[in-house]
Amino acid sequence: MKSADYLSSLFNLAGKVAVVIGGTGELCGAMAEGLAGAGAEVVLVGRSLEKAKARLARIAALGGTAWFHPAEATSKAELEKLRDVVLEKTGRIDIVVNGAGINSATPFFDITEEEFDRILRVNLKSVFLGCQVFGRYLVERGQGGSIINLGSMSGVVPLSRVFTYSATKGAVHNLSLNLAREWAPHKVRVNVLVPGFFPAEQNRKVLTPDRVASIMGHTPMQRFGEARELVGATLLLASDAAGSFITGEELIVDGGYHAMTI
Ligand X SMILES: NC(=O)c1ccc[n+]([C@@H]2O[C@H](COP(=O)([O-])OP(=O)(O)OC[C@H]3O[C@@H](n4cnc5c(N)ncnc54)[C@H](OP(=O)(O)O)[C@@H]3O)[C@@H](O)[C@H]2O)c1
Interacting residue with ligand X among 47, 136, 205, 223 (CB under 6 A): 47
| Start-to-end CA span in the chain (Å) | 48
Strand partners, 67: 43
- Which residues in 164-247 belong to E strands, given as ranges? 189-195
Q: Which stretch in 2-10, 97-105, 109-117, 236-244 sits in contact with ligand X by CB under 6 A?
A: 97-105
CA gap 99, 237 in Å, rounded: 14
Query: What 3-state DSSP class applies to 255?
Result: coil
**Residues with catalytic roles:** 165
Q: Which stretch in 110-118, 174-182, 190-198, 234-242 sits in contact with ligand X by CB under 6 A?
A: 190-198
Identify whether the C-beta of residue 216 lies closer than 8 Å to the C-beta of residue 222. yes
Task: Tell whether residue 197 is a contact of ligand X (CB under 6 A).
Answer: yes
Q: Which stretch in 67-75, 80-88, 137-145, 208-216 sits in contact with ligand X by CB under 6 A?
A: 67-75
Task: Tell whether residue 203 is a contact of ligand X (CB under 6 A).
Answer: yes
Of 182, 77, 60, 62, residue with least CA distance to 129: 77
In eight-state DSSP terms, residue 155 is G
CB of 207 to ligand X, least distance (A): 9
Task: Tell whether residue 239 is a contact of ligand X (CB under 6 A).
Answer: no
Q: What residues make contact with ligand X under the rule CB under 6 A? A: 22, 24-28, 46-48, 51, 72-74, 99-102, 122, 150, 152, 195, 197-198, 200-203
